[in-house]
Structures are given as structure tokens and as C-alpha cells.
Amino acid sequence: GGAYSTNGGANWTPLNSRPFCSGHGTGFGDPVVYYDIEHSKWVAIFLASGCGGQGIGVWFSTDGITWTVGPCAHSGGGDDRESGWVDNNPASPYYGDQYVSWNNFSVGGGALYVAKSTDGGLNWGAPVQLNPAFIRDVQITTGPNGYVYVAAMNEGGGGLGGPRTNVIYRSTN
């Protein structure tokens, strides 16, 4: 589901049509929402069964109220922990490019990946592997120069007992 506000968050109206529960099979949650200034639209990303079993589905809206189904950003059977971002800096050489990062639990116990769209989320490039084994995806973002940063966490074997180390990946293109 979801909700929208037209008064700065003082009141919220539910999206009763449940737009994220259709178009890509069953929705498994993990929502990501951002506004793409260059393409004048909202983008929502959810885990979805119709994108390879448990991949990453995309939806679009020009008003945040009415949503249409977009493509699969990635078709996979074990995607999880996705994060998304758009470069909204008009001075950036990558203005309007969209990014999604995630853990793919079908590879290396949770390999870390990133995919990019240069056309407003209509098409997504081949995934780029950042780490071949599990390191938890935390957040993807861009800097003022267009560099892409992925914050991740090495959980030291998982659970609460292992030492944790924060890791940053950077791409200049």
C-alpha cells in the first residue's frame, strides 16, 4: 500500500487502489520512493514476484496518487534489501540517472549489486557486482559531482556478536 499528503504531511490519504500489489505479481515490500526532477515523475521500487521470482519492480507516477507499472529494474530469484536514488543535481554530468542497489541472495550468499537507468527508469542496464559475497546494502546516493556512493555494512558473520565495519563503494561513472 501507500499514502499521499497534499498539505506537507499534516494529513495522509491511503492509496486504496493498492497500485504496488499489481503489475509485477505479488509485492514483497521493501519500498523505495524518490522524485526524478528531470523526468518529472515519482518512482517507486518494490520487491516483486513478477520480476524473476523475487526481483525488483518499478512503478511511476506524475502526481504521487495515480501509479502505472514500469519495468523490472532487475529480474532475480533472491533480491532483497534494495535501495534507490536519482541524481537530481542539474549541474551533474549524470543528471536524471537513476540507481538501485541490492543484495542478491542467489549469488554468493547475498552478493551486492547496482543497476543504472539513464532514461527515467524505462530501461535498466546490466547489474554491476560490487562484492561477490554478503555485505549488507544500506543506501545508495550521489554526490554533487555525479559520483555514486553505496553505503554497506560488513556484519562480521551476522548476528549481534560479530564486529561490524561500514564500507563505502564509489563510482565516478
Whole-number Å distance between alpha carbons of 5 and 11:
6
Model pTM score: 0.93
pLDDT tens for 30-52 read 899 999 999 999 999 999 999 99
Map residue 95 onto helix, strand or coil: coil
Using the structure block, give the residue that is written with the C-alpha cell 490519504: 13
Please, are residues 75 and 82 in contact by the beta-carbon 8 Å criterion?
no
Q: What is the pLDDT of residue 20?
A: 85
Asked if residue 160 has pLDDT above 80, the reply is no
Whole-number Å distance between alpha carbons of 94 and 145:
9
Q: Is 26 exposed, middle or buried (0-12, 13-18, 19+ CB in 10 A)?
A: exposed
